[in-house]
Structure 1
Amino acid sequence: MQRDPFQLKLKFDSLETLSALMTRHQGDASDIADALAVFDPAQLAALGQSEASVSKELQARNKRLIDELRQRGPRRALALHPDALARLDELRARLPHFGEVIDELGDQVALAREARRPLRAQPLLLLGPPGVGKSYFCNQLADALGLPTHRLAMDNAQGSALLSGSATFWSNSQTGLVFKALAQGTHCSPLILLDELDKAPRDAQYDPLASLHGLLEPSTAQHFEDSSFGLQLDARFVLWVTTANTLEGLDAPLRSRFSVHAIPAPTREQARRIAVGVAQDVVAQSGLAMEVGPGVLDALAPLTPRQQRQSLERALARAVRHQRLSIQVEDLPASRPRLGENLRRPFGFVPV
């Protein structure tokens, strides 16, 4: 069968284009493999020469920041943990009710590794009632990926200054969380957790979510500028994770920027698995050769991950005080919820 020359030409051109892209990609593979510039050093140098309009206090602050960033340089690490995919699989086994979220991120981790580029994932919104382990999951996720974590409680956020900095006309102007995570951080993909997004106080003049519209769009995030320090930062690769109990109060344009995942309450068996992971973490961080006795995990299962950790830390201290090498049920705080109480209502973590 005779082939259309035009089709052959298109295929050839596509292959040539692909080959050229691969050649360029391989040519700067060392840059892709280890670090990414998050700001322009030339713009940083220019900042120190254009501060006549700011107060002496801000000039001194800016000089300290400029000196710090010059010393650190513009490049931030982009590599994920070498075993990130295997660690995500382990996390899925421990927190199966977050399976959809983990699978979505696992796909992006595999793509970033194969393409040898930074992780670029759609901002995540974890939707669910209090106590399903959303905040605990975010900490475990950052650990699995090998990313630094920065948390902002949105229920107390007054305006967008905590996220994107305060204006320089304020005498106490300060940079925001994004600046600290990127410019003063170590990685180009820090995990920024915005906890309880739906509880953010909304005010027409001081809306704490206003700056998110730009930060969650890659085209504008690439040129993010903190209100307190006029240095453009490349914030495209920040891993945004937010939690909420409801979508009420979040406008449609903001919601559309998120990949929304409804997190169900864990089953009894899933909750017990979570308790296993929490117990392993607590014992490992203690540095002691401590065992967890029979019945402890069942006693912990009705609690939230935070309550599990708090109970285990107190129980471990009590076991050490009594010179035992295992944590027993009697070491757990007496004030914890009893299993029988939780069995009489639909199972799930109790609210914090």
Structure 2
Amino acid sequence: MHSTTQSPKPGAVWVDEPFEPDCARNTLLVRFPWTLSWRIHVSSGYTGLVSQLLQNIEDILGKNPPLDFLRIIEQEEEQGPTRRKIHVFIELRQCSAAKSQAIRHAIHMTGKWAERLCPRCGDKLMTVNPFDEDTCEMTPELIAFLKTRSGPFRSRTIEICLPCLQLEWEASHPFGFVEESGVDASQEEDEDCDEATDGDEPWDAACPAEENESGEDCADAINDDAPPDEVQNSAVEQAVKAAIFKAADIDLLEKTCSTATRDQSSRAKALISSLRETEPDKPLTPIPDDWRSVCDDLDARFPNFKDVTEFLRSQFALSDIGDRVIRSAPVLLVGEPGIGKTEYLHQLAEAVAGEFIAINIGNSQTNSTLAGSERYWSNSHQGRLFDALVFGTVANPIIMLDEIDKAGGQYDKYKPLSALHQLLEPRQARNFYDLSVPEIKFDASHILWVASANDLDMIEKPIVDRFTVFGVEKPTPAQMTAVVNNIYRRFLAEHPSGAYFDSEIRPDTMALLCAHPPRKVRKLVEGAFGFAAREARNYLLPEDIRDSEKNKRHTIGFVR
């Protein structure tokens, strides 16, 4: 059992910062050394859970999984003071649809289990009703202590880790008594419910079990005295879901597969079984509560993307006065290679904390990546879009299409971007279907599309017209200082050895790095840290910035 060294913030038992993330990280590195270059920042209680996920990834992709990106982080939820949610951002390199679906299922199950476990110790969480008389009689000191630590409860039930709460209570109250605003706990229990309704105390906490005149449970009735904002927020919370597909379409698919070939019927039955276990209604990811700070941070880290960030800031503001669901028109970033387009989109997705899927369209030769392949092919499979929405966790994932100007395909029918004609039009996207499963129509109108390209002229004009296009310029010398600092500090935050080095770059080293484009700076900085470590230095010098491309010899003809 571990004890936290951080003070909880008001209104919550745990803080947003994971509990002993270094302990979890070091334990995982011993078993999975290939995760060294990736960011895994979770509490020690999730070590076993994340270890199982990484083991599943190895079982599916091999001992050294071919990944282009992996990031595992956690976020506090409101359902209970100990409840967390694990977010997994992963980009697979040249992975089959079956393996991709298996990885997605493993991530989904990891997320579900994480919500049931204590991030501090890994024990299973316990659901309690802090207003229930039997519960209060069983652990009166702990319930009173929980109220002092968590503030007013918004729900009739919360999830807690009883052993951890017991340890915290014993550490805070060595003499076995609990004080709450100067009132003894036993005195609080003797107070009448009517007296507790005076003042500003939350209505549901004051009268938890009584019935009103109409016979309805007080906890389920509408409180006329409740602030308008609370009633409005409650209505919004119940409305942030979208129906992705119809259960009736599964019956149609089952009927169709009865007359199919043996191979087709086998694939269809497996798919039907998975669909029966999948919830058709998916939640819509909301905008971050601190969306203004998110935009300010993007401005500071990516100063040459100011116009893009300004556009996003207006989209967030529009959602903030509505249902707070994140929405945006499709965005296309155009600029020369290496200026940070892909990195900007990755960090945007990370800040939003929604589901993020990166697709390198430049490697695609047909439209099967997005729309699947025709059923008559022996190796027919669903596209990435079907898996992302039907088997995903949210209705509005962020899907990044990288290098769309390099998409191949000789004929209109097989062009990788042909599906975008329908997908980028919300009205048409509501009834999209995968070519391998035409019976299942799904709603793709909530997707947040972002794309990058180097040459706008290489993209069909009808596709370009469906995007909001931003030309991204190469960072100016003044802007490069912010870009280099961002890359440098990101290494310090994510690499296990980052704490060893100085928090700031020396001016002479900074000047040398600013002469290179952002993508190259990232490579140079990563190499420079290694050279400094060899010399047992905790700072970078100009001689650590070694450009290997300068030493390349390009010869034509005979080699001497």
TM-score (norm 2): 0.52
Q: How does 1:125-274 map to 2 (within 5 A)?
A: 125-204=332-411, 205-230=413-438, 231-274=440-483
Deviation at 1:58, TM superposition (A): 3.8
Say how many residue pairs are matched.
Answer: 315
The answer on whether the counterparts of 1:303 and 1:337 sit within 8 Å (CA) in structure 2 is no
Does 2:509 align with 1:302?
Answer: no
Q: Which runs of 5+ in 1 are unaligned?
A: 1-24, 339-352
- The 1-side partners of 2:370 and 2:297 are apart by 32
After superposition, give the CA deviation of every residue in 1:15-40 in whole Å (9 maximum; x if it has no partner).
Answer: xxxxxxxxxx878523334x433222
- 1:24-73: CA deviation from partner (whole Å, max 9, x where unpaired): x878523334x433222332344233213444344333333333344341
How far apart are the structure 2 equivalents of 1:64 and 1:84? Answer: 41
In the TM superposition, what is the alpha-carbon distance from 1:166 to its structure 2 partner? Answer: 0.7
Please say if residues 120 and 236 of structure 1, whose CA atoms lie closer than 8 Å, have aligned partners that are also in contact.
Answer: no
The 5-angstrom pairing of residues 15-164 of structure 1 reads 28-33=235-240, 35-74=241-280, 75-164=282-371
CA-based RMSD of the aligned residues comes to 2.7
Please state how far the C-alpha of 1:184 moved relative to its aligned partner.
Answer: 2.5
Q: In terms of mean alpha carbon deviation, does 171-180 or 125-134 score higher?
A: 125-134
Contact 1:160 1:210 in 2 (8 A): yes
Structure whose alpha-carbon radius of gyration is higher: 2
Q: Residue in 1 aligned with 2:494? A: 285
Tell me the CA shift for residue 91 of structure 1.
Answer: 0.3
Contact 2:284/2:325 (CA < 8 Å) preserved in 1? no
- The SS at the match of 2:333 is strand
Alignment partners' CA distance in 2, 1:138 and 1:83:
18
TM-score (norm 1): 0.80
- Give the equivalent residue in structure 2 for 1:315: 528
Aligned equivalents of 1:224, 1:112: Cα separation in 2: 25
Q: Structure 2 unaligned runs (5+)? A: 1-231, 552-560
SS for the counterpart of 1:152 is strand
Query: 8 Å contact 1:36–1:78 — kept in the other structure?
Result: no
Q: Is the 8 A contact 2:405 2:454 kept in 1?
A: yes
Moved more, 248-257 or 165-174: 248-257
Identity of aligned residues (%): 33
String of CA shifts for 1:185-210, please: whole Å, max 9, x gaps. Answer: 22222222222222222422422221
Q: Distance in 2 between matches of 1:37 and 1:336?
A: 52
Is the CA contact 1:100–1:261 (under 8 Å) kept in the aligned structure 2?
yes
Counterpart in the other structure of 2:209 = none
Structure 1 contact 32–117 (Cα < 8 Å) conserved = no
Q: Cα–Cα, structure 1 residues 66 and 105, in superposed 2: closer, same or farther, change >3 Å?
A: farther
What is the Cα deviation at residue 167 of structure 1? 0.7
